[in-house]
Chains A and B, each alone.
Chain A
Amino acid sequence: MTDSLSPILNLPCLIPSLMSNVTLSNITKKVRTVTALDDVSFHIKDGEFFVLLGQTGAGKTTTLRVIAGLEKQDAGNVAFDDEPVNALTPADRDVAFVFQQYSLYPTMSVYDNLAFPLRSPVHRIPETDIKRKIEQVTEILRISHLLDRKTARLSGGEMQRVSIGRAIVRDPRVFLMDEPLSNLDAKLRESLRVELKHLQKTLGKTILYVTHDQIEALTMADRIAVLNKGQIVQEGTADDIYDRPATTFVAQLVGSPRINLFQAHRENGSLVITGSDVRVVTTHALPEAFLLGVRPEDVRLAADGQFPAEVVLAEPLGVETVLHLKSGNQTLIALVPGMSDAKIGDVVKFSIANDKLHFFDTNRKRIQTT
């Protein structure tokens, strides 16, 4: 498969390829009276896979549309390679947009869809070059057999492959992708994720990828920016975001199942999860009351575990099993590898990985403990 990607690297360059650093500085955007983007700044390096992660309505898509020029910001700057592009129309910005759905023209064949951006009056490319380029791209994406079909007759996965193909044929400076995989079923999503990531690495293209799916963000991104209510909450690598979440919001956004978050307090040099039997000796300097975060995989079941708990629900997922454990008045979620044989009603023992605890203050901000 690595070999099949090489043709595109020595494609005759139809459009001069430029460096593509993208810089957003202090972007603010209001939609009617609501602030959709509030002082958003970030920098995407050339060849980087950058993911904007956030929930519905966080402002991810608006950010993408501002970069594409489909929407105008109220304040702030968008620059490609340090050159402001604020005044340019979408057609002149040389970006490719891959939408969640609905972007293939239903009245055209797959071939015409792929040719459409190349036939644009901006580029003026001879039809023979278009044909050659399309053949190469369709081979890479394994959609050559679909060229004559009407797009309405494609499956979801094929459609999204064609959409990505339509972006690739252009060889744009930046790919902007708006949840391109979210309408596909899980299996397909998984495999296209791998393909897309691999494609990006081999082509060395810059991708800004928007998603609400934390797994997608963790697995694909070189760097992630977490967006909440129009503001960037944290920016960093997948490890940064997962292991050192800046706020409880980020902690809860990444990781499946969700992180366990409890009210906790100090008691004679130990920390105690309020309302449960869980009590951990700690040397960290912590305030009197705080929030304790424990990732489900850091709740470990063991015969010599410290705390007893009752299994309230077991959800075998295959690769791992989710157990809902009741300790005192609190329910903890534990994640154990493989298919667990724990049954509902069983009493089990568990411990908590002391070195993997997350502490948050009452403002839900991370308490640094190093």
Chain B
Amino acid sequence: MATIQLKQVEKRFGEAYAVKPLDLTISDGEFIVLLGPSGCGKTTTLRMISGLETVTAGQILLDDKNVTWLHPSARDIAFVFQFYALYPHMSVRDNIAFPLKAQGETKELIDERLKLVVDLLRIGHLLNKRPGGLSGGDKQRVALARALVRRPAAFLMDEPLGALDADLRESMRAEIRELQLRLKATTVYVTHDQIEAMAMGDRIVVMSAAVVQQADTPTQVYYNPANLFVAKFIGSPGMNLVQGNYAEGIVRLPGDNQYPLPPGWQNSITRGENVILGFRPESAHVSPEGMLQGQVYATHMHGSYTMLHLNMEGDNVVHVRADRSQRYPIGANIRFDVDAQMARFFNPQNETALRQHQEQSRMTNDGLAVSNSQSSVSHSQSYE
């Protein structure tokens, strides 16, 4: 398997950027997810890595070898498409063997490799069938087998689960991730489904409007979003964002709600400044003595929990994860607390996250503090 480096890679159509200059290093065996809404440039990026799309400027390195201008077939990578792209006139066996036959491999080698991938994906019983008769999940397994059999340097997957129904998507998600971990395969995976990205990725590259918004681990992207876009895009529902005003150690929120500024933020926010408070639904807890309150607008039963939609005032609806055994009638006033550790603040003008100054109170579980403290410098400068 291989490392992939993108250096200042960009794609333009005339004046319009599909992808603005982008730097990304994908290490050996890493599962990278390119995530974003449709039209954000994620698929274009993937297609540039594969060579199906040429770059307008920049370089693509595969294991330190410049492949920027190589034909897709010469790059030693495998592409898995959303619509499987299986050849309908060939049996499953011939479909899987096709890339090897194209390379002129011997029959013994083909049989051996075929057996390996077929066992790996447990599709032995399908070998003599035509793709047309297979279920969506089996089609995607066959497509994966065809990608695997070549033993490429890297896998590129373009929404491979997009055409499957929800239930199957869930189980295939685990299947692909397990397979990737077992093979230690460098993988670039494109999706618009943030759940998929969170569940599968070692790192998530969040893109929007042709620009990378944040590239980090799922935990960081989820709890420490770099800006409002990421905060809203990641999570279902997204991060709760409430506009407020800071003064005297207290953030005043709509509906006469007051939230004491948690320790560590005093230096990041100045008096009289508008800020946006952000918190995740599970970082809030319903409690009779809660500091904040809202009116129940809707309740959503989710099986394992109930999601409360609380209206603080105007159109400020926040989501709070609550115990399913309780009843919350529509229109009732509910008090709740937000975990001080998990509260985040954003600058409403430039929509970026504010950073705490005392780094010791940060929750991090890998070596990300470095990059965060770097960015906190540049962000805090604009506030002082």
A and B touch in the complex (CB under 8 A): yes
Residues of A within 8 A of B (CB): 1-2, 55-56, 185-187, 190, 193-194, 197-198, 201, 212-213, 215, 218-219, 238-239, 242, 254-258, 295-297, 312-313, 315-320, 322, 324, 335, 337-339, 341, 344
Contacts of A1 in B (CB 8 A): 297, 311, 315
User: Closest 9 A-B residue pairs measured CB to CB?
Assistant: A297-B304, A315-B199, A219-B300, A318-B235, A255-B303, A218-B301, A238-B301, A338-B282, A316-B218
- Give the residue of B198, B309, B315, B321 whose beta carbon is less than 8 angstroms from that of A337: B321
Contacts of A316 in B (CB 8 A): 198-199, 218-219, 222
Q: Is B193 an interface residue (CB 8 A)?
A: yes
Secondary structure at chain A's binding surface: helix, strand, loop or mixed?
A: mixed
Distance in Å: Cβ of B241 to nearest Cβ of chain A? 14
CB–CB A242/B238 < 8 A? no
In angstroms, Cα B222 to Cα A254, docked, is 26
B contact patch SS? mixed
A186-B195, A316-B199 known; A256 vs B301 contact (CB < 8 Å): no
Bound Cα distance A295, B303 (Å): 9
Does B302 have its Cβ within 8 Å of any Cβ on chain A?
A: yes
B63 at interface (Cβ–Cβ under 8 A)?
A: no
Task: Tell me the smallest distance from the CB of A81 to a CB of chain B, in Å.
Answer: 27
Residues of A within 8 A of B282 (CB): 319-320, 337-338
Per-residue interface assignment for chain B, residues 274 to 318, with 1 indicating a CB less than 8 Å from any chain A CB and 0 otherwise: 000000111000000000000001101111110101010001000
Q: Please, could you name 10 A-B residue pairs with CB atoms under 8 Å apart, sorted by A?
A: A185-B192, A242-B303, A258-B167, A258-B170, A313-B174, A313-B181, A315-B174, A315-B177, A318-B195, A318-B236
**Closest A residue, CB atoms, query B175:** A313
- CB-nearest residue of chain B relative to A189? B236
Smallest distance from the beta carbon of A272 to chain B beta carbons, Å? 25
- Is B263 in contact with chain A by the CB < 8 A criterion? no
Which one, B37, B200, B222, B236, contacts A315 given CB within 8 A?
Answer: B200
**Given A316-B198, A337-B321, 20 new contacts (CB under 8 A):** A194-B297, A212-B166, A218-B303, A242-B301, A254-B303, A255-B304, A256-B170, A258-B170, A295-B304, A297-B305, A316-B199, A316-B218, A317-B195, A318-B194, A318-B198, A318-B222, A318-B235, A318-B280, A319-B236, A320-B304
Q: Roughly how many angstroms separate A312 CA and B192 CA in the complex, as a whole number?
A: 26
**Chain B nearest CB, measured from A361 CB (Å):** 24
* Nearest Cβ on chain A to B182's Cβ, whole angstroms: 11
Instruction: Kindly list chain A residues whose C-beta atoms are within 8 Å of the C-beta of B174.
Output: 313, 315, 324
